[in-house]
Amino acid sequence: MRCGKMAAPAAAGAPGGWGGVRRRCQRLLYWVPVLFISSILCWSYYAYVTQLCLLTMTNIGEKVVCLVAYHIFFMLFVWSYWKTIFTLPMNPSKEFHLSYSDKESLEREPRGESQQEVLRRAAKDLPIYTRTMSGAIRYCDRCHLVKPDRCHHCSVCDKCILKMDHHCPWVNNCVGFSNYKFFLLFLAYSLVYCLFIAATDLQYFIKFWTNGLPDTQAKFHIMFLFFAAAMFSVSLSSLFGYHCWLVSKNKSTLEVFRAPIFRHRTDKNGFSLGFSKNLRQVFGDEKKYWLLPVFSSLGDGCSFPTCLVNQDPEQASTPGGLNSTSKNENHLFPAKLLRDSQSHLLTDTPSWSETSANSEKDKVGMNNPALTMENET
């Protein structure tokens, strides 16, 4: 009997223990793509520096120039890749989390006006202007918080990520507000790295096919080095070009597939402030930091300036007869509560006025339409 009683708790604990082992194995598997990229990078270093430059190149000047330029690109590539991987995604600040009493109210009250009132009360002083498809405040029932604009819940990280772009398996991390600049630089420097290798390796690759190289081990490294560099250059150029377009339009990958929904309507260019300001939101105001993988993005990731009306050339007209000179107080995009670090982005925008910003600040949360709680991931 004693043995039976002892076995019961062990059996009860077995599923939990197995679940922990499974989660640890899953986390290890997530690092496989990173290890794959790292192994290719290590091999390319050996093949280029040792086999191509030191053992194959005979011109001393060419050898020195290639080694110096290669190590510069290699350092920037590794630095930006490292920062993209190990920069923790930023999560919403405490002000967006529901209080203990509000969480109890949501759990206790049936779905309906009572829950709507809880969410209205929690969100009335928060700088949020995007909604769900049904017009509800975006609420995460896993993190128990009101989602800031452009924030989404990552199913892999099981967290809400500020300005989430996507979860990238090649860096085993979420790409969002905290590391989007690093991700762009990683794409840029990896593309430059591959193009440089392909360009400087081309003449020796041609010699390989014309039997101009001695039949040594370096011969095969040179051949595969060119193929790998050319192949990655093609894929990286398309991906980097796509993200450059996203930056120019101030969009995320998620917002391309599902446009942000504001209080009055959906607008795919609602966060676009023009090319220059869109670029500065990601890279910052100080140009000396633009090409370095150091954080210089503007804002706090929780609030973003928007255009009052749609001024994007792709959507020249706006519904209801509203345009950039409209004096109607019911703007499509209300003036936002801006963090101090972002407000200067709009100082030279004619359609923004301090009067409308101050009046909207007093009305935040007071004129929301009837909302229904909708969980959105």
Comparing CA positions, the residue from 327, 320, 310 lying closest to residue 249 is: 310
Question: CA–CA separation, 160 vs 152, rounded Å?
Answer: 5
How many helices and strands, by DSSP H and E, does the chain display?
A: 11, 9
**Could you report the per-residue pLDDT of 350-361, keeping only the tens digit for each?**
333 333 344 443
Q: Collapse the DSSP code of 79 into the 3-class scheme (helix H, G, I; strand E, B; otherwise coil) and give the result.
A: helix
Reported for 140-145, long-range contacts at CB under 8 A and 24+ positions apart, including other chains, are 140/375, 140/376, 140/377, 141/375, 142/377, 143/91, 143/92, 143/97, 144/97, 144/98, 144/103, 145/92, 145/96, 145/97, 145/98
**Could you report the per-residue pLDDT of 203-242, keeping only the tens digit for each?**
999 888 887 777 778 888 999 999 999 999 999 999 999 9
Looking only at the bridges linking them, the beta strands covering 138-140 and 374-375 are parallel
Run of H or E residues at 91: none
Q: Dig out the tokens for 311 from the structure.
A: 């001024």
Annotation says 168 is catalytic: yes
Higher-confidence residue: 194 or 132? Answer: 194
> With b meaning 16 or more CB within 10 Å and e meaning fewer, what string describes 145-180?
bbbbbbbbbbeebebbbbbbbbbbeebbbbbbbbbb
From the candidates 53, 168, 174, 302, give the one annotated as an active-site residue.
168
pLDDT of the residue at 162:
97
Rounded to an integer, the average pLDDT of 320-329 is 34
Q: Dig out the tokens for 363 from the structure.
A: 């009305």
Length of the chain: 377
CB 272 within 8 A of CB 249: yes
294 phi/psi in degrees, rounded to 5: -120, 145
The fraction of the chain above a pLDDT of 70, given in percent, is: 75
Judged against a pLDDT cut of 50, whether residue 339 lies above it is answered with no
Question: CA–CA separation, 190 vs 171, rounded Å?
Answer: 13
pTM listed for this prediction: 0.79
| Amino acid identity at 298 | L
180-209 and 275-283 helices, crossing angle to 10° = 90
Question: CA–CA separation, 23 vs 121, rounded Å?
Answer: 38
CA distances, 70 to each of 73, 96, 208 (Å): 5, 46, 22
Q: In the predicted model, what is the mean pLDDT of the chain?
A: 80
Comparing CA positions, the residue from 272, 351, 261 lying closest to residue 304 is: 272
Q: How many CB atoms lie within 10 A of CB 22?
A: 10
Q: How many CB atoms lie within 10 A of CB 294?
A: 14
| Amino acid identity at 259 | A
Judged against a pLDDT cut of 70, whether residue 2 lies above it is answered with no
Judged against a pLDDT cut of 80, whether residue 282 lies above it is answered with yes
Question: CA–CA separation, 285 vs 203, rounded Å?
Answer: 42
pLDDT of the residue at 24:
84
167: which strand partners? 174
pLDDT of the residue at 196:
98
217-249 and 180-209 helices, crossing angle to 10° = 150
Judged against a pLDDT cut of 80, whether residue 84 lies above it is answered with yes
The fraction of the chain above a pLDDT of 90, given in percent, is: 54
**Could you report the per-residue pLDDT of 87-119, keeping only the tens digit for each?**
999 999 999 998 888 888 887 776 666 777 788
Degrees, nearest 5: CA angle 103-90-151: 60
Terminal Cα distance for the chain, rounded = 49
For tokens 């099981």, what's the residue? 158
